[in-house]
Structure 1
Amino acid sequence: MELDEHIRIKRELGASICDRIGDEIDRLGFAAGSIEHYPFFDQARFELIKDPFTGDHNLAGYWHDQRQQRIGSLQFNSDGTFYAEYDVVKPHPTKPKWFVEGITAWGSADRITAEAKLLPMPE
């Protein structure tokens, strides 16, 4: 199967994963306009990578900022699961002792789970 076909097959689930990550960012309570970018499925750059365990191809997508620095990734595994990370890199808006590194999401088509990756602020 070609790259374009993998992307077409995963587009709906990918858009749902992006929405879930965006919802998780919004749930943290950042002020309107303070988040520069959100993940959108069609803005990722995709490639096929070989799964070392199964030998099948996994679809991997990457998001980059304006300076071409990677700010997120999404991988669809050949077993039907996925894993995503998306950078936020901001102090927590309501918990001054915490820093939001990013959002992780994982699961499968029937269950998308997401949570913020928080780090304690240095004293």
Structure 2
Amino acid sequence: MLAEDSGQTSCADTHLQEKTRHARIKPNMAIDHIQAQKAGHCRLLSHLYRLKISHTDQCPCDTGPQTPEHVLQACPTFDTLRRQHRGRQTWPSEVELREKLWGTAASLRPTAGFALNTGLDI
């Protein structure tokens, strides 16, 4: 029996719905997500592991726990994206984590844009 016949949603359908949802979120709306990151509430593996929803807190890049700090500052998966943001002078060379998460609204917008471009539900 096909998933569409049974009323069940396939994994591919769920992934497509999630990508579509991310495409609709604007950077200003994503600032709310940054506020949640400050409190440690996000869908990264570090948080899901604490809630016993994930079997690991490790980032798929295998270089450390998948935390907001790791994704924003160090994850090699997003090195190119990080450089692109710096190239547009969205983030001048090295921006500290506290500026990315606790800065002014103007400094949070680039963080929100970066977070949206990762495709992660940060």
Tell me which interval the TM-score lies in, with the shorter structure as reference length: under 0.3
Q: Structure 1 length as normaliser, TM-score?
A: 0.24
- Larger proportion of strand: 1
Structure with the largest fraction of helix? 2
Length-normalised TM-score, structure 2: 0.24
